[in-house]
């Protein structure tokens, strides 16, 4: 196929009312959620879509005034210039063209992701097959995908327990939350959740806050002690308990505890994920939006399946377009374990309002009882609602801020 046009739109969804979430040693402001939509058109008029959005760390490394708007501009100019008019016969042609631009590793990986996902959407539409069949290279009869509810952001222990119980009533069998410290309150939180939901619900703990507390960040001994105490409440996993790329700390922690460990969303590239998989973690969390798209993540899925001791469970914390993309990845997977479903909204179950997450699709997803039934239409199988381009204009500034007291 020959790409003829690339259009990239930086969108923002203000969080209203503004959120202020206290944590141990400070508070976090939540202003908005940003989203970048890429629209890729071929010479014969076919259109493919992809969710985009570089991490703030990747953008700061490249842009003087980092923003999703500047990332969108990079995709639409320098990267598009390297691809438009070229004959693209395979995803590797796209990644090779982008790697020739000599971008920082993380930004390169995220830029490749955008065009790799759009390519697979176009390829599937061209041959009349869903992306999951292109990846698996076989006929796939998709089963409903089990999803875990990803919510719980910086609340008091009872708030988490109440939220978990409401999410359980909605049919989810697993709940992930983000503790806010201090250590004794982290223990009390998981105790109350387990007491409230019983043994029928899995509990995941996204512990990234533990190393984002400024001067009060937990040291290795505190983390080890916490995991040993939390083990009594049978967590499904502890996610990112130490800083990303601190592979030595992951190895020491894996050797010191029997609690399953997860990580990977913050890795710069598929190579970083591969290195993390060698530390003893039990779950590897790549993301088609960040780790070289379907191509990069599929290679990791195959490596995990060959290894047999680690399971690939994708990270997903954005819109329904990203949810669908990662769902195709898992549907094709030989293991098909779990899919992360971020719960947005202003009710007890939701983290915060983010209507753009659903509005980006015209297609109503079949979500019920904690499961997703993926459409079986060609490509990504969904219709993108391009009216969001006008309805959610870009808003300058950071989406979130950590303030330390």
> Tens digits of per-residue pLDDT, 5-38?
999 999 999 999 889 999 999 999 999 999 999 9
Mean of pLDDT values over 270-290: 97
Q: What is the mean pLDDT of residues 242-259?
A: 96
What is the CB-side half-sphere exposure of residue 178 using CA atoms within 13 A? 21
Q: pLDDT per residue over 294-342, tens digit each?
A: 999 999 999 999 999 999 999 999 999 999 999 999 999 988 679 999 9
| Cβ-proximal residues to 252 (8 Å cutoff; 6+ apart), any chain | 220
Q: What is the pLDDT of residue 356?
A: 98
Q: Domain extents for the chain?
A: 3-133, 138-391
Q: From residue 370, give the alpha-carbon distance in Å to each of 110, 145, 191, 201.
A: 29, 8, 23, 12
Interatomic CA distance for residues 263 and 209, integer angstroms? 14
Does the pLDDT value for residue 58 go beyond 60? no
**Which residues have a Cβ under 8 Å from the Cβ of 334 and sit 6 or more positions away?**
301, 305
Question: Of the candidates 37, 111, 113, which has an alpha carbon nearest to the alpha carbon of residue 74?
Answer: 111
Q: Which CATH number fits domain 3-133: 3.40.190.10, 3.30.390.10, 3.10.20.600, 3.40.50.620?
A: 3.30.390.10
Closest CA to 16 of 314, 299, 344, 251: 344
pLDDT digits (tens, 9 = 90+) for 76-108: 999 999 999 999 999 999 999 999 999 999 999
Taking the model in full, what pTM does it have?
0.96
**How far apart are alpha carbons 328 and 330 in whole angstroms?**
6
Topology match between the domains 3-133 and 138-391:
no
Pairing status of strand 366-368 against strand 371-373: antiparallel
pLDDT of residue 68: 76
Spell out the residues 6+ positions from residue 271 whose beta carbon is closer than 8 angstroms to its own. none
CA distance 97 to 83: 7
Q: Which superfamily is assigned to 138-391 in CATH?
A: Enolase-like C-terminal domain (3.20.20.120)
């Amino acid at each position: 196929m020959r790409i003829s046009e690339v259009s990239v739109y930086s969108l923002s969804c203000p969080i209203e009312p503004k959120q202020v979430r206290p944590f141990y040693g400070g508070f976090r402001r939540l202003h908005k959620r940003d989203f970048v939509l890429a629209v890729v058109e071929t010479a014969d008029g076919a259109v493919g879509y992809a969710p985009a959005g570089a991490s703030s760390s990747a953008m700061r490394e490249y842009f003087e005034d980092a923003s999703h708007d500047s990332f969108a501009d990079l995709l639409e100019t320098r990267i598009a210039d390297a691809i438009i008019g070229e004959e693209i016969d395979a995803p590797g042609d796209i990644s090779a063209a982008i790697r020739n631009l000599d971008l920082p590793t993380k930004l390169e990986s995220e830029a490749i992701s955008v065009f790799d996902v759009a390519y697979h959407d176009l390829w599937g539409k061209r041959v009349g097959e869903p992306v999951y069949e292109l990846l698996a290279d076989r006929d796939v009869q998709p089963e409903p995908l089990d999803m875990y509810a990803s919510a719980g952001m910086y609340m008091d222990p009872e708030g988490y327990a109440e939220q978990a119980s409401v999410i359980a009533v909605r049919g989810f069998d697993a709940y992930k939350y983000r503790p806010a410290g201090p250590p004794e309150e982290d223990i009390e939180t998981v105790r109350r959740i387990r007491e409230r939901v019983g043994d029928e619900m899995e509990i995941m703990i996204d512990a990234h806050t533990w190393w984002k507390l400024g001067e009060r960040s937990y040291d290795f001994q505190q983390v080890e002690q916490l995991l040993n105490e939390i083990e009594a409440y049978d967590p499904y996993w502890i996610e990112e308990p130490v800083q990303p790329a601190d592979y030595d700390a992951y190895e020491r922690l894996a050797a010191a505890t029997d609690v399953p460990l997860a990580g990977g969303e913050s890795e710069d590239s598929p190579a970083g994920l591969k290195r993390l998989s060698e530390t003893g973690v039990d779950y590897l969390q790549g993301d088609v939006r960040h780790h070289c798209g379907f191509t990069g993540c599929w290679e990791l899925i195959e490596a995990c399946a060959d290894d047999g001791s680690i399971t690939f469970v994708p990270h997903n914390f954005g819109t329904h377009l990203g949810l669908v993309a990662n769902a195709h990845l898992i549907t094709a997977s030989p293991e098909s374990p779990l899919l992360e479903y971020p719960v947005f909204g202003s009710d007890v179950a939701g983290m915060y309002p983010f209507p753009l997450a659903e509005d980006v699709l015209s297609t109503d997803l079949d979500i019920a009882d904690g499961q997703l039934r993926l459409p079986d239409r060609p490509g990504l199988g969904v219709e993108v609602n391009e009216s969001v381009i006008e309805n959610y204009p870009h808003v300058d500034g950071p989406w979130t801020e950590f303030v330390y007291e």
